[in-house]
Structure 1
Amino acid sequence: MGGAVTLAALLAVPAEAGALSPGDWAGVIAAARAEQLLGALACRLSGIAVPERAGAILHDARDMAAESRRAALWQAEMARRVLAPLGVPVVLLKGTAFVAGGLAAG
C-alpha cells in the first residue's frame, strides 16, 4: 500500500497504526508532509502506540500545530483590535475560523 493510501486509512481509522512497518511509516510521514497533513495525523494518532522515531516526528508535529493555532488566534485578535474602532467586522475564514470556533478541523 502506498504512503498516500496508508495516510488516508490512518486518518480514517487511527487504530490501524499498530499494523504499520517502519517502511510504511516513512511513506506515511512523507505523504503527510507533502499534503500538509502531518499535524492532523499527529493529532489523530495522539495516545496511540507508534514506533519511537515516528513518535518523535509526530510529537514535534503536534507542538507545531499547537503553535500554529496560537499564532492564528493571536493574528485574528490583533486584526479585531485594529478594526474595532472603525466598526469593521472581522470575518475569519478556513483554518482560523475552525480554530476560533473550537472545531477539531482547525
Structure 2
Amino acid sequence: MEVFSYIDQPAQTPEIDELITEFGSQLQKLTREDKLGLRVLLSTYSYLLDTQEKWALLGAVLDETPVQPSKELDEAIAILEEVDPDAAEGLIEAFTAQLSQYHAHEEGH
C-alpha cells in the first residue's frame, strides 16, 4: 500500500515535490519521531489557521508545541513554511496512516 499515494494526484504542490526530493517518496528519510513532530506541527498549524489569522507560517507554530526538532525536521519545516492548508491536511492523513502502519508492524513482532 502506497502511504503517500495522494502525493501522485495532480494537485501536488511545489512544497510536497521538494519534500519528496529531499526525504524520499514515502518520506522514509525522516525518523518516526520526525514524522510525529511534523504531524503535531501541521495539525496545530491547521487549527491555528482556522481560528487565528496571525499564524501564517509553520515555523512560528514550533514555539507553541513541545516538539524538539532534529536537523531533518528543521529542514522539512523550512520546506513547508507556507504550505497550503489542503496540502497540510493531506500530509497529516498520510503521516497518520504511515505511523499507524508502523505501530501495527511493531505490535506484530
TM-score normalized by structure 1? Answer: 0.32
Could you tell me the TM-score, scaled by structure 2's length?
Answer: 0.32
The structure showing larger relative contact order (alpha-carbon pairs under 8 Å, at least 6 residues apart) is 2
Between Structure 1 and Structure 2, the one with more helix by share is 1
Structure having the higher Rg: 1
